Amino acid sequence: MFEVNSKMNDERVEEIGENHVGTSAKTPLRDDAFAISNEEKINKIQESVKDILETLGMDLTDDSLQGTPKRVAKAFVNELFMGLDPANKPTASTFENNYNYGEMLVEKNIIVYSTCEHHLLPIIGRAHVAYISDGKVIGLSKMNRIVEYYAKRPQVQERLTMQVVQAMQEALGTKDVACVIDAKHLCVNSRGIKDIESSTVTAEFGGKFKNKETKEEFLGYLTMNTGFKNI
């Protein structure tokens, strides 16, 4: 029975191929995802990386490679995938909109460093996040932190875009939030089709941003030249 199920699973993986597949906006985690400590995870991943490198024929007694399994394990747990741990979720401090600012606020060009969950290769790009206050405002740096938190996990870009919007909506108590992400996927750029020019754009519009005029206003801000190269 195990062999039959394994064969069916392999066939399903081949059928999916390069397609992006997402079951929901929720990151797929097992119920026991945090049953062991980060240090235990690092130790287990270290052994797995060691096994991979040895299987590939690498000589782990070489000075350059001796520390690689531990370095990779620590990077996985503490950096690249730190967004899996709810303990790292940023506190989204909000304040009363005492100055009654009623227009949209746009935070452009938030750097995105994520990892494709299909090949564990980098996703690199920029996120643009906007909201219209319904009585609350959020610290600008918190918008960057929210993007970073959800990016630092195995991801698909569609899910990441939705998660950023949902987190902002929850923090601000309003549906009027939007996010556009433009990113390069190294699983496309460095392998497979090896297209180094293409990028992927995803968008999620909530509340008032679903209205044509509001959406166009937001997208218009994204075309403004705000590089500030001389600053």
- E strands present in the chain: 94-96, 104-116, 122-132, 136-138, 154-155, 177-185, 200-205
Indicate if 187 belongs to the active site: yes
Question: Which residue out of 107, 117, 148, 204 is catalytically annotated?
Answer: 117
Catalytic residue among 128, 163, 166, 187: 187
**Active-site residue (options: 116, 128, 166, 179):** 116
Q: Tell me whether residue 197 is one of the annotated catalytic residues.
A: no
Residue 33 tokens read as 């995802």
Q: What is the DSSP string of 19-75?
A: ----S-SS----TTTTSS-HHHHHHHHHHHHHHHHHHTT--TTSTTTTTHHHHHHHH
Distance CA 118, CA 186 (A): 11
135: three-class secondary structure by DSSP:
coil
- Is 20 a residue of the active site? no
How does DSSP classify residue 208?
Answer: G
Cα 172 from Cα 166, distance rounded (Å): 10
Q: Is 128 part of the annotated catalytic residue set?
A: no
Structure tokens at 171: 């923090």
Of 119, 158, 169, 217, which residue is the catalytic one? 119
Active-site residue among 107, 148, 166, 185? Answer: 185
Candidate list 46, 118, 128, 179, residue with the active-site label: 118
Active-site residue, selected from the candidate residues 107, 128, 148, 157 = 157
Phi, psi of 154 (to 5 degrees): -60, 125
HSE on the CB side for 154, CA within 13 Å? 12
Q: Tell me if residue 185 is catalytic.
A: yes
46 catalytic, yes or no? Answer: no
Active site members:
116-119, 157, 185, 187
